[in-house]
Structure 1
Amino acid sequence: MPSASLPKIAVVGCGYWGTNHARTFAELGALAAVSDRNPERAEALAARHGVAAVAVEDVLADPEIDGVVLALPPHHHADQAVAVLEAGKHLLVEKPIALSVSDARRVVDAAEGTGLVAITGHVLRFHPAFEALEAMVASGELGAVRYIHSHRVGLGKFHAENDALWDIAPHDLSLILALTGETPVKVRGEGSAVMNRLSDFAHLHLEFPGGIRSHVFTSRLNPYRERRLTVIGSKAMAVFDDVAPWDQKLALYRHKLWETEDGWQSEMVDPNYVPLPDGLPLSRECAHFLECIAHGATPRTPVADGLAVIEILSQGTVRHD
């Protein structure tokens, strides 16, 4: 049962990610209810955590529910997010928050001026390795950032309505936008549909007004897993590798580069691994949501961030007939 001192949260959508949210909010003492269009699935999850399984209409009508987490198929997110906000509930909506720019704007518009917390589930923004990387960039430890590239590849999951770009790239786009603090002025996308009409491989190439360039490579048809974000600076380079062991997830490379009459020369050095505090990204994200509701903290990943990602995805989308 939820703690009396914490906001009460309902999780709508009891699939894989909704189950993770329900478990996490239960561990934090804030889970009050779960909901799913499959009543048996909702009841099983509710029984696991000792809370109620209720219809989504009852979640929205319940004055005891403070906030709602939406972990639904993405094509349902926008309508349900607007309904949550119109019901006066705080909102955490999983990525992508919509499948079109117009729908994402509806969510942002619904949140504006309400005083409600409305955040996007960009969970990797709360990873201790990314937070440390973000601090290194902000402090100038890497020098001027020149290039950022990400590789997020693996085998599966195949979704009927989402290709590799829309399903996978939001993770890294959120990180890249946070590091640059800018909106790209140019976006170019390339995709390959191998198994069916939806792209299984996708590249995005981004150019930012301050001169930073970036690319994102995603694949759900790859024989190995890679979850790597690399930042190239004028003084040093850093790699956030989420597949690496915890003590090696953030590597700092101080390679030496210099220019001579014969051109650029380089000397490679071993990486320094940055010590990281413990903490699961989802637990930190959920705790942040509760903090924003209870104490008015500024959301780190507002739904406007979700809209910014959707705008980039829309510009980079490659259609396949």
Structure 2
Amino acid sequence: MIAQLRIFVPEPLSDAVVDCSTGELGVAEVSRQRGASVLPPGDVIHVLVARESVEALVEKLHALNVQEQGSISVSMPELVLSDRADKATADAPGEGADAVIWDEVSRQTGEDSRLTWSYLAFLILATQLAAIGIVTDSTIAIVGAMAVGPEFGPLAALAVALVQRQWTLGRRAAIALGVGFPVAMLAAAFTAWLSVPLGLFPADVLDRGSAADFIYHPGPYSLIVAVLAGIAGMLSVISRRSAALIGVFISVTTVPAAGFVAVALVLGEYEKAAGSAIQLALNLVGIVAAAVAVLVFYRLVTKRLPDAAALRLKRKAMRAKR
């Protein structure tokens, strides 16, 4: 898997960036256009590099303060036909699908963790769907609520913030969760409060056995499912496989639990509300803890891969000399 870096740098930094790029393991091509950048004035450098080597190269560019005086953009070409690129990918440590580009992960999760009107709207709509599914005993509505809920974005951002110590990102994610869920639950409680006197559902609806009973009965599997979902979700973010996130959304009961708490409180079912609140907490904690574990594991592995690859190439060169 090949990535392309486009680097805008002032002319005094240009030679250092070229030297840095050409000396990196996994780099296939480096080209420079002198004076091509108008704002900021300077050079434009293109680097074709194996995806698994992008993080190491970006770290070196950060050390040169390229991002402060210019810019670095990373893209993934759909098709690259090049023997040099194939060789660079083979020489680079690890696999492209497993490579973590930390700036990419931070930006992606950061964009999904902001407390925006659209985020609030989706969370409110999802909680309303969950509440409707609970009072109508509709499994389809509950599953739909899971799919609509946008809560994984802030949860993933919180995990990244803890691992990378990006406290601004963590604070933003915590605000999105801390404000979003109470607002969504209040909206669901208000509609439930209006619905009872209108006769849309009976006041004893939660006393009748339903498919939603599992929501207020947290147990070991509640945490296990949350952990598995957190692992799958973070792996999908790292490997850029967004389709897998749908499975994550419909496997955890964060939004249904929030909806159940709202409905149960309105109907005076405080014990069931407490059980649902515990279910919600278990899911949130399990997802974040699992996502943190995945990121820590990848950080440890990716630190060791370059050294192993360099040793492998050194041995290969020594055998060639013989």
Alignment TM-score > 0.5, same fold: no
Larger radius of gyration between Structure 1 and Structure 2: 2
More helix by share: 2
Identify, as 1 or 2, the structure richer in strand.
1
- Length-normalised TM-score, structure 2: 0.26
TM-score, normalized by length of structure 1? Answer: 0.26
